[in-house]
Amino acid sequence: MYAFEFHRPSSVADAIAALKAASDGKLMAGGQTLIPTLKQRLAQPSDVIDLGGIKELHGIRQDGNSLVIGAMAKHGEVAGSDLVKSVIPGLHELAGLIGDPQVRNRGTIGGSLANSDPAADYPAAVLALNATIKTDRRSIAADDYFTGLFQTALADDELITAISFPRPEACGYAKFRNPASRYAIVGVMVARTGGGVRVAVTGAGPCAFRLPDFERALAGSFSADALAGLSVSPSGLNSDMHASAEYRAHLVRVMAQRAVKAVR
């Protein structure tokens, strides 16, 4: 690991100030991606700004009909939260499928979304549930947030403070995971929301995306059978040693059908 200056601010304002003052600063949430990246010398930030000491980024609460999860809420907290389980059981279940227990004890929802790994689980939930990403300066709709491979709508000096999930009528998540890393080779969340059916995919493309034809089919008949005749084009999907684009395209439909069956 290359050397860097370390900062542990206690407020969002101080974190942004430290980031702006650094020549090439990097915010660190749970560090479960950043630290392995630093260890492999794949990044060389001048300054690392640890968000672990900022109280306002923690906590999970209900706000009217929404669940508001602080950016620094750990996957294990979401997976262990009775509130999340009662308001959005599918999200509770998804969090418990991320990584392993020790990764879940450190990794955070804000860190996962800021990083936007194509194989991360939370992006599927954020898109399918039509969540809002709250930052230090604005609110970003899920549909506008994911812009490409490890790319998001966040500005370079913007910090996620919380994610607001409107309560769906029901949702379900199905994941075909890499057995070693636990990352999603393909993960699909299906949600019945006040604004209609939403189907979001992670793992298959450069970033999470929705499937409008799947949504229309499920709006007509909310059943796994309604998806049986549909297919997804492998064009533009990820292809690597774990799965070809064609295999991922196949898995998208299979996982979508399983997600429908898992809806509750």
Partner 1 sequence: MAKVSMTVNGQNVTRDVEPRTLLVEFLRQHLDLTGTHVGCDTSQCGACVVHLDGRSVKACTMLAVQCEGAKVMTIEGLAQNGELHPMQAAFREHHGLQCGFCTPGMIMSAIDLVQHNPSPSEDEIRHWLEGNLCRCTGYHNIVKAIKAGAASMGG
User: What is the C-alpha to C-alpha distance for residues 38 and 57, in angstroms, rounded to an integer?
Assistant: 24
Strand partners, 25: 47
The one segment of 14-22, 159-167, 175-183, 248-256 that binds partner 1 by CB under 8 A: 175-183
Assess 173 for contact with partner 1 (CB under 8 A).
no
The residue count for the chain: 264
The one segment of 12-20, 33-41, 132-140, 141-149 that binds partner 1 by CB under 8 A: 33-41
Using a 10 angstrom Cβ sphere, with 0-12 exposed, 13-18 middle and 19 or more buried, the burial of residue 90 is buried
- Pairing type for strands 47-50 and 5-7 reads parallel
Using only C-alpha atoms, what is the Rg of the chain? 18
List the interface residues with partner 1, window 176-195 (CB under 8 A).
180-182
The one segment of 30-38, 187-195, 201-209, 220-228 that binds partner 1 by CB under 8 A: 30-38
Binding mask 88-117 for partner 1 (x = CB under 8 A): -----------xxxxx-xx-----------
Collapsing DSSP to helix, strand or coil, 218 comes out as: helix
Assess 2 for contact with partner 1 (CB under 8 A).
yes
Assess 82 for contact with partner 1 (CB under 8 A).
no
Assess 8 for contact with partner 1 (CB under 8 A).
yes
List the interface residues with partner 1, window 219-258 (CB under 8 A).
none
User: What is the C-alpha to C-alpha distance for residues 60 and 83, in angstroms, rounded to an integer?
Assistant: 8
In 3D, which of 2, 3, 13, 41 has the Cα closest to residue 159? 13
Assess 52 for contact with partner 1 (CB under 8 A).
yes
- Pairing type for strands 25-28 and 47-50 reads parallel
Assess 172 for contact with partner 1 (CB under 8 A).
no
Q: Which residues make up the interface to partner 1 (CB under 8 A)?
A: 1-6, 8, 31-32, 35-36, 38-39, 48, 50, 52, 76, 80, 99-103, 105-106, 180-182
